[in-house]
A and B are shown apart, each in its own frame.
Chain A
Amino acid sequence: TQLLKQSPQFLSIQEGENLTVYCNSSSVFSSLQWYRQEPGEGPVLLVTVVTGGEVKKLKRLTFQFGDARKDSSLHITAAQPGDTGLYLCAGFTGGGNKLTFGTGTQLKVEL
């Protein structure tokens, strides 16, 4: 059973476009993280959000944690080819011991 569902599963856009990736669950998470993974590499942490309603910005990326701590979104402004990769949300359960990953969103940004 996948606790965290991401949408869309695939996204192909042109450079300069904006996009939003969603991460949804019926479970409450202590915190939620977003990772990016490039081919042949392991995922790399982008951000951690802890408080319901929290918004964090990382350059052109904006992350939001839902008020009920069950969902999150990632918004990218003016996407660039370097943003291409697999985006994964992940939530901590079990008192911070177990990190459960979402289904993933494969983003491709073309020139």
Chain B
Amino acid sequence: GAGVSQSPSNKVTEKGKDVELRCDPISGHTALYWYRQSLGQGLEFLIYFQGNSAPDKSGLPSDRFSAERTGGSVSTLTIQRTQQEDSAVYLCASSLVTTVTGELFFGEGSRLTVL
């Protein structure tokens, strides 16, 4: 596809279950970012990938959160033992270059609701 694709678009789960969120970046984009957004709020940085490596994992809220990227392309964000406070929209973005003028292209997000 032409843009960043995220799946699922909506996920409702029960507290304590594990969830996986997937991101397909724009082809050729080496940088990939995950953010979390609560309703109407700013974006909270979670993790950043350059290729398959994650130089900055500083934003992951707890050890229940993990992410990987394979083949320099698809990334998966996994949340184990979900809690109600994990409910949010999880946004993925990719960028062609990692410079201070790089533009991030965002997907439409995965809305997670933990009951």
Contact = CB atoms under 8 A, between A and B. Distances in A.
Interface of A: 2, 4, 6, 30-31, 33, 40-45, 48, 50, 86, 88, 90, 92, 94, 96-104, 106
A99 B33 contact: yes
A6 B56 CA distance: 25
Contacts of A101: 35, 42-45
A2 B103 CA distance: 21
A98 B45 contact: yes
Give the interface residue-count category, chain B: 20 to 34
B55 interface: yes
B95 to A, nearest CB: 9
A43 B100 contact: no
Contacts of B106: 41-44
B100 A92 contact: yes
Nearest to B103: A45
A50 B101 contact: yes
Among A42, A86, A98, the one with the most B-chain Cβ atoms within 10 Å of its Cβ is A42
